[in-house]
Amino acid sequence: MNYRDVFGEILADHHESPRNWGPLPGCTREEQGYNPLCGDKVTLRLLVRKDSSGIEHLERCTFEGEGCSICMASASIMSEMIQHKQVPDVRALIEGFREKMQGSETVLSLPAEDSGEDITALYGVKRFPVRIKCALLPWTTLKKGLEATHAE
Amino acid sequence: MNELIRRDFPILARRIDGKPLCYLDNAATSQKPRKVVEAISRFYLETNANVHRGVYHLSQEATDAFESVRGKVRRFIGAPTEREIIFTKGTTDSINLVATSFGEMSISEGDVIAVTRMEHHANFVPWQQLAKRKKARFEIIELTQDWRLDPKEVDRVLALKPKVLAVTLLSNVTGVTNPVASLAARFKMAGTSILVDAAQGIAHSEVRIDALGPIDFLTFSAHKMCGPTGVGVLWGREALLERMPPYQLGGNMISHVGDFDSEWNELPHKFEAGTPDIASVIGLGAAIDYIDTHGRNRIEEFEQSITDHILSRLIAIPGIRLLGPTDPHHRAPIFSIAIDGVHAHDLATYLDMEGISVRAGHHCAHPLMFKLGLPATCRASFSFYNTLDEADQLVNALSHAPSFFARRRK
């Protein structure tokens, strides 16, 4: 048995080859997330612009961090999902993910590898309840970053 | 030694996810033998009443049971008098009591307060904040490459003639045992008051005041030595405790309360405000009895055999980093490990799947971990009810960790 058998190819791949990793010149917000209990750290860089009708758009998001495989893979998967999206849609994604991970629905098996959506691979983390917070950290950090941007 | 001992701990027979429990997080808290749990339960079922209050028979029985534990603790650590044994909520509470009360009395602007790099947050933050409040100098004794107190650093800090030195007997991260007796002898000459944090030490060896040199305070918790959570001990020299102001104010700690001023009860009650955790104190008494039945020397010998057995095997695992001395002497069976390229949490989840319970994180020792540049490690800590088989199980699982976490070749 190895890591891929337990957490799946998708998580392993995102952990080993993180997407959207690195700096983001011209970003409008840099938000740091830190879990003092386990030491997971993630830094998100956001480029948010308002269009002519006042709707905020998340044009780009990159990340860097040091943490466990689940936290880093979650950040990578999240970063792929939110590029070029309207901020209200991003907020809905964050809320949906939080509900999925903290809700009462149990996830006993890994989703099929070809489900088409990498985020479903993260749902498997629910089998390890203490690790749910690892998966959530990038998302709560994104939420904070968007709120701070909005307030500016 | 321990096939019979294991039967005293019903939890050790549990299976987790089909696998026998391999509990290696004893540095966080030890398991409790049946006798301790029964003593607590018997107190509530048969003797429960508040202590030091009632004139009725039951209250006297409860008070006698409670106070008899003070005598047991006194004998356990070889203290001269029960007046020096103060029950607290735990080690953290004990240290906060000293840092607040003794600190208030003794520390002035410009004084030096010394700790070491290997202190647990409980023996670091109260002193750091005391230094801040009093505008005192806060000095940290640094470590050598092999994780022990650096003698040059000890000399440097000693020359500053600190008012207080707070030092752990045994590191909860590296397993290092500090030479407290010789440190105390030298610092005492410089006029330093010495607090020894025995939270870890108490579980692994015989801790006796007279063997620790001229120390002034000793702190420990019941829950790391087979006792319940919620109760700890502060031992302090009577002459100092007499001069120290009370820490918390309220019932039991007073002798007279007037409208505009009050007088304090005698030791040790001056430092025991409010109703104590009576049942847990009774449980601590049962834990001391339990440990004495087996003998602290035998416990220490057995744990040394675990250290001797596992240490060379751990070090031999390719890619592993042990954050503690590789020399089996003057160390306890507490092993913090890191594997290159594998985060501590991933490693702990893997070990959990193998049925092995270890701690992953910073072990409440940020100042040490930051110095090491590690956000987290995995820690396996043994007790006298663990077995050599469990040690082998850990080594075996760690040996397979690199292949478990192997990355796909690109």
For the stretch A1-27, pLDDT in tens is 889 988 889 999 999 999 999 999 999
Give the whole-angstrom CA distance, residue B199 versus residue B220.
Answer: 4
Please answer whether residues B234 and B217 qualify as being in contact, where contact means their C-beta atoms are separated by less than 8 angstroms: yes
* Residue B391, both tokens: 């040690």
Q: Are residues B307 and B277 in the same domain?
A: no
Q: Are residues B165 and B182 in the same domain?
A: yes
Please answer whether residues B307 and B384 qualify as being in contact, where contact means their C-beta atoms are separated by less than 8 angstroms: no
Shortest Cα–Cα distance, A149 to chain B (Å): 29
CATH of the domain at B332: 3.90.1150.10
Q: Are residues B107 and B224 in the same domain?
A: yes
Give the whole-angstrom CA distance, residue A148 versus residue A150.
Answer: 5
Q: Are residues B310 and B376 in the same domain?
A: yes
DSSP A41: E
Domain-terminating residue out of B292, B314, B342: B292
Please answer whether residues A20 and A79 qualify as being in contact, where contact means their C-beta atoms are separated by less than 8 angstroms: yes
Q: Are residues B13 and B156 in the same domain?
A: no
Q: Which domain holds residue B112?
A: 37-292
Instruction: Give residue-wise pLDDT tens across range A98-115.
Output: 999 988 776 655 554 455
Question: Cβ contacts (< 8 Å) between B354 and chain A: which residues?
Answer: none
Is B184 a member of any domain?
A: yes
CA-based nearest residue to A131, from A26, A13, A7, A32? A7
B residues 353-382 lying closer than 8 A (beta carbon) to A: 353, 360-362, 369, 375-376
Residues in chain B where the model's pLDDT stays below 50: none
Helix (H, G, I), strand (E, B) or coil at B22: strand
Give the whole-angstrom CA distance, residue B48 versus residue B61.
Answer: 9
Domain-terminating residue out of B262, B292, B322: B292
Shortest Cα–Cα distance, A29 to chain B (Å): 25
Q: Are residues B171 and B93 in the same domain?
A: yes
Shortest Cα–Cα distance, A137 to chain B (Å): 14
- Closest chain A residue to B361, measured at CA: A38
Is B213 a member of any domain?
A: yes
ipTM of the complex: 0.87
CATH of the domain at B252: 3.40.640.10
What structural domains and CATH numbers belong to chain A? 3-151 (3.90.1010.10)
Q: Are residues B299 and B271 in the same domain?
A: no
Is B98 a member of any domain?
A: yes
In A25-128, beta strands by DSSP E? 29-34, 41-50, 56-66, 85-86
Is B30 a member of any domain?
A: no
- Higher-pLDDT residue of A41, A115: A41
DSSP-assigned beta bridge partners for residue B115: B140
Q: How many beta-carbon pairs below 8 A join chains A and B?
A: 49
Global pTM?
Answer: 0.93
Helix A69-82 to helix A132-151 angle (10° resolution) is: 40
Domain-terminating residue out of B273, B292, B311: B292
Inter-chain residue contact A70 with B407, CB threshold 8 Å: no
Q: Are residues B149 and B16 in the same domain?
A: no
Is B305 a member of any domain?
A: yes
Q: Are residues B250 and B389 in the same domain?
A: no
Q: Are residues B18 and B63 in the same domain?
A: no
DSSP B409: P
Q: Are residues B310 and B177 in the same domain?
A: no
Is B351 a member of any domain?
A: yes
- Closest chain A residue to B377, measured at CA: A38
Inter-chain residue contact A70 with B345, CB threshold 8 Å: yes
Alpha carbon B359 to its chain's center: 16
- Closest chain A residue to B347, measured at CA: A68
The answer to whether B343 contacts chain A (CB < 8 Å) is yes
pLDDT number for residue B303 = 96
Q: Which strand (E) or helix (H) includes residue B105?
A: helix B103-106
Give the whole-angstrom CA distance, residue B312 versus residue A50.
Answer: 61
Active site residues of B: 364
Is B187 a member of any domain?
A: yes
Is B242 a member of any domain?
A: yes
Q: Which strand (E) or helix (H) includes residue B166?
A: strand B164-168
Domain total of chain B: 2
pLDDT number for residue A110 = 52
The DSSP-derived string for B167-226 is EESB-TTT-BBP-HHHHHHHHHHTT-EEEEE-TTHHHHS---GGGS-S-SEEEEESTTTT
Helix B388-404 to helix B344-353 angle (10° resolution) is: 120
Instruction: Indicate the average pLDDT of chain B.
Output: 95
Give the whole-angstrom CA distance, residue A139 versus residue A79.
Answer: 10
Q: Are residues B288 and B302 in the same domain?
A: no
